[in-house]
Amino acid sequence: MTGYAAFSALLVIGGPRVPAPGVSPLEFTISAPTRARVGARVPIVLRLHIASDRPIEAHFLGRTIVFDIVVTGDDGAIVWRRLEHEVGSSILQVRMLEPGETMQWRDAWLPRKPGHYRVQGILPSDAPEPLRTPWAGVEVSP
């Protein structure tokens, strides 16, 4: 392997260097309750699962892996961002992940107004675009 080349982005599969087109060996998912109340913390869990039968080289930002969570309102505007105004070191961590391995990150969001919100997890790396979970919907009642 020539290493962490520019095209490697977040992933490099052990053995063959290029993943099969359209098949992601990583599953990055988000878990959050579908309903919540204003003023009650909403627990959010991000999971990165290695859905591959081979080890995968993954790239992450930070000595302690940095993850971000964004919450948007109905209009798409960001109402909360976990790393808003945070400044961290720009070191790149390289990890070999085993088949079936799952990594997990947790945080909580405190809703301040009722409404319909969408939540997404983000894992920055040296790829041009970070890895993102699908959006999850949260209905916040008064």
Partner 1 sequence: MSHLNPLRLIVPAALVVVAACQDTTTPLAPVAARVTPSAYAPQQVQRWFDLMAREGLALPGTVLADYDETTNRVVVGVEHAAAGASVRALAVRLGVPAEALVVREMEPIRFAKTLQDRVDPRIGGIQIHFGNFLCSMGFNAVDGGQASFVTASHCTNKQGGVEGTVYYQPLQSVDGVSIGTEVEDPPYLRHVAGCPRGKKCRHSDASRAAYNPGINSALGQIAQTDAASPNTGSLILSTNGSITLSGGDLRDHFTIGETMNKVGRTTGWTQGQVTMTCVTVNVSGSNISQICQTIVENSVQIVGAGDSGSPVYTSSNALAGILWGGNSSGTLLVFSPLKNVDDELGSLQVTP
Greatest distance between any 2 Cα atoms in the chain = 55
Q: Do residues 62 and 50 lie in contact, with contact meaning Cβ atoms separated by under 8 Å?
A: no
One character per residue 24-63, x = contact with partner 1 (rule: CB under 8 A): -----------------------------------xxxxx
Give SS3 for 58: strand
In eight-state DSSP terms, residue 10 is T
Distances in Å between the Cα of 68 and the Cα atoms of 18, 71, 78, 81 are 27, 10, 13, 7
Instruction: Give residues 64-93 in contact with partner 1 (rule: CB under 8 A).
Output: 64, 66, 68, 81, 83, 85-93
Report the nearest approach of partner 1 to the CB of residue 114 (Å): 28
Residue placing its CB nearer to partner 1 in the complex, 66 or 140: 66
Answer for which of 2, 53, 76, 77 binds partner 1 (CB under 8 A) is 2
User: Smallest Cα–Cα separation from 86: which of 110, 102, 68?
Assistant: 68
Distances in Å between the Cα of 131 and the Cα atoms of 59, 74, 75, 96 are 11, 23, 23, 17
Report the nearest approach of partner 1 to the CB of residue 130 (Å): 9
Instruction: Give residues 97-116 in contact with partner 1 (rule: CB under 8 A).
Output: none
Answer for which of 94, 101, 107, 132 binds partner 1 (CB under 8 A) is 94
Contact residues toward partner 1 (CB under 8 A) are 1-6, 59-64, 66, 68, 81, 83, 85-95, 122, 124-126, 128
